[in-house]
Amino acid sequence: MSNESRGALPPLDLDDAKAAQMIGKLVLVGVTRFGGDGQVQGLEQFAGTVLRVSAEEGLVLADGDDGHERYLPPMLDQYLPAAPGEYQLRSSGVTVIDPDYLSTRELHARQ
């Protein structure tokens, strides 16, 4: 069965220059999870340093709390430059100082 017939996404055209530029940078991420009914089920915030970026793995962060790897989508246009400053994570109270990039995600459960 071909990828097209299964509804697979086309190969990602990764911006190698931006990917290389992001290595070692600090990313602050906010994730909102929605249930099948459209109601917010959870909020998560975390920060981490970019370890590597590839079309296969996505953007891989070393979590700022414990160093474990977190895998994020490799759509690099969704990582926006952050304004300098202090960002307090609501979920943990941790303050992230001068992140390089911000990214927000919405995850929707299937109905």
- How does pLDDT run across 9-18, given as a tens digit for each residue? 455 678 899 9
Residue in 80, 78, 99, 79 with CA at minimum distance from that of residue 88: 99
What pLDDT does residue 88 have? Answer: 94
Distances (CA, A) of 89 to 26, 45, 52, 59: 14, 6, 24, 21
- b/e sequence 5-31, b meaning 16+ C-beta within 10 Å: eeeeeeeeebeeeebeebeebbbbbbb
- How does pLDDT run across 2-36, given as a tens digit for each residue? 344 444 545 567 889 999 999 999 999 999 989 98
pTM, two decimals, is 0.82
- How does pLDDT run across 32-53, given as a tens digit for each residue? 989 988 888 888 999 999 999 9
